[in-house]
Amino acid sequence: MSVSNARIIESLERAGVRPSGARVHVLKYLESNRNHPTADTLFRGLKDVLPTLSRASVYNTVTALESAGLIRRLNIDGGEARYDAHMPDHGHFRCEACGAVRDFDTDLGALDLSALDGYTVGKRDLFVFGKCPDCQKK
């Protein structure tokens, strides 16, 4: 396990979120699995360590973590939301063949947002769609 509970608890507390069991394990899962899981993937993936976890708690938890700025919610298509604990700016690529979502490095700061003069600018999402190398072979 590359992420220690102590560090998870520390970042929760620093963000002003009480480190309940659900929060610790959801954040830990997201920091250990960079594959942008859905709420359902989190729910099923955490059953072992949190047998009494409910779906509602998964939603409560990701909402709390997002509000605290610890994770981001990705609405990359019309289906299930995905969650990402990797906070530095980056883009998301989604393969239209296999559905996988992966991060890619790019400088969103280079974008020209001068057309938004007078607007407060907060978070940015860059989604790129296409076909991943594996799916191109098929």
Q: Which residues bind DNA (CB under 7 A)?
A: 17-18, 20-23, 38-40, 50, 52-57, 59-61, 63, 78-81
**What's the closest the beta carbon of residue 16 comes to its own copies, in angstroms?**
20
Distance, in Å, from the CA atom of 7 to the CA atom of 120, rounded to the nearest integer, reads 33
In three-state secondary structure terms, 95 is: strand
d(CA 127, CA 132): 14
Region 30-49 residues binding its own copies, contact defined as CB under 8 A: none
Q: Verify binding: residue 78, its own copies, rule CB under 8 A.
A: yes
Of 18 and 138, nearer to DNA (C-beta) is: 18
Taking the complex as a whole, the smallest distance from the CB of residue 114 to DNA amounts, in Å, to 31
Q: Does 76 bind its own copies (CB under 8 A)?
A: yes
Our CB check for DNA shows the closer of 52 and 120 to be 52
For residue 104, the cross-strand partners are 91
64 burial via Cβ count (<10 Å: 0-12, 13-18, 19+): buried
Tell which one of 37, 42, 93, 101 touches its own copies (CB under 8 A): 93
CA-to-CA distance for 3 and 111, rounded, in angstroms? 33
Question: If contact means CB under 5 to 8 A according to the sort of partner, which of DNA, its own copies, none does residue 45 touch?
Answer: none
Backbone angles phi, psi at 91, to 5 degrees: -100, 165
